[in-house]
A = this chain, B = another copy of it.
Amino acid sequence: MTAPIGLIGLGNMGEPIGQRILQAGYPLRVWNRTAAKAEALVQAGATLAQSPAEAVEPGGIVLTMVSDDAALDRVTHGENGLLAKLGEGGIHISHSTVAASRALAMETAHEAVGATYLCAPVFGRPPTILAGKLAIALSGDPAAKKRVRPVLEAVSGKIVDFGETPGAANVVKLSGNFLIASAIESISEACALAEKSGVDRRQFIDLMASTLFECPVYQIYGTGIADRRYEPFGFRLSLGHKDVNLVLGAAADADVPMPVASLVHDRLLSLMNRGHGDLDWTAVDIGVSEDAGLGEK
């Protein structure tokens, strides 16, 4: 009989990941800070754990999908943390987007108890996961990667192996988020120019997103910006600010100047300071529009 998989963090990404694991026939133990969020998975057959540690099978496999560095620390370390229980031979698959330096520290801490930490950040949104089309960037120990492959294949449709460098897959995720954030800024600037020059914003974006930029980021975020629609539908601005901060942290660690990242960071921070942190990160367009003298939509 297969050992149960642990899953910690049942937000809008963690929950569909759990569904995929159950559908593949694995026994699943789940934990979330707010237990109510576990309901759907429990009804689908998962077991509810009372602590991160309780979700873990010694020497087994545990997945985490939490919101930031601090949450990852909390569920990993300490008395009821997953690490002590996981122990020798255990594997921690970390799907969260955290600091590059955190990934390195995590790897060291896991090695110290004979366990393995794998970076496995994901690209996609809840519907992508349910459709089996999530993409996973993976880095870490080769033997561990081999062992967890069936689980990851249950969760995703595409796994890209970025080798053994500590935190490599995490940098991939941060770089991807940087590309999205900078596209949002550029699209907003282009829309401001278009509008003030007498061009219809939506027509402009529709042309771009059906030719040169016929891809999800320009289609989804581009349409939101063209329509000046900033209700959270993709990613919260405050999380975007956090991630661009992590990008600049990784850039400082690697001695890489990233002027567009700095510019986007300042934009996001000024919008946080103006009270727009809870909007979608397309709200970058609010700053661009105000700077351009475009009134309220």
Q: Is residue A172 contacting chain B, with contact meaning CB distance below 8 A? A: yes
In the bound complex, residues from chain B placing their C-beta under 8 Å from that of A206 are 160
Q: How far is the CA of A273 from the CA of B214 in the complex (A)?
A: 33
By beta carbon, the residue of chain B nearest A272 is B255
By beta carbon, the residue of chain B nearest A204 is B172
Q: How far is the CA of A218 from the CA of B185 in the complex (A)?
A: 17
Q: Which of B171, B193, B290 contacts A254 (CB 8 A)?
A: B193
- Do B293 and A189 touch (CB < 8 A)? no
Which of A22-30, A48-56, A174-182 participates in binding chain B?
A: A174-182
State the main secondary structure of chain A at its contact with B.
Answer: helix
Q: How far is the CA of A44 from the CA of B202 in the complex (A)?
A: 40
- Do A212 and B180 touch (CB < 8 A)? yes
In the bound complex, residues from chain B placing their C-beta under 8 Å from that of A262 are 259, 262-263, 265-266
Could you tell me how many residues of chain A have their Cβ less than 8 Å away from some Cβ of chain B? 77
Q: A199-B168, A215-B213, A273-B291 are in contact. Are A193 and B258 (CB under 8 A)?
A: yes
Identical chains in the assembly: 4
- Do A293 and B266 touch (CB < 8 A)? no
- Do A197 and B255 touch (CB < 8 A)? no
Q: How far is the CA of A247 from the CA of B175 in the complex (A)?
A: 24
> Closest Cβ of chain B: how far from A28's Cβ, in Å?
26
- Do A186 and B189 touch (CB < 8 A)? no
Q: A199-B172, A245-B252, A259-B262 are in contact. Are A207 and B274 (CB under 8 A)?
A: no
Can you show 9 pairs from A to B with CB atoms below 8 A apart? A162-B204, A165-B198, A167-B197, A175-B194, A176-B212, A179-B187, A213-B217, A254-B292, A270-B292
Q: A123-B212, A214-B216 are in contact. List 17 more A-B contacts (CB 8 A).
A: A158-B211, A165-B197, A165-B198, A167-B197, A172-B207, A176-B207, A178-B190, A182-B186, A183-B183, A183-B186, A189-B259, A211-B216, A256-B269, A269-B291, A270-B292, A272-B293, A274-B290
Q: Which 5 A-B pairs have the closest CB atoms?
A: A273-B293, A165-B198, A215-B215, A257-B266, A262-B262
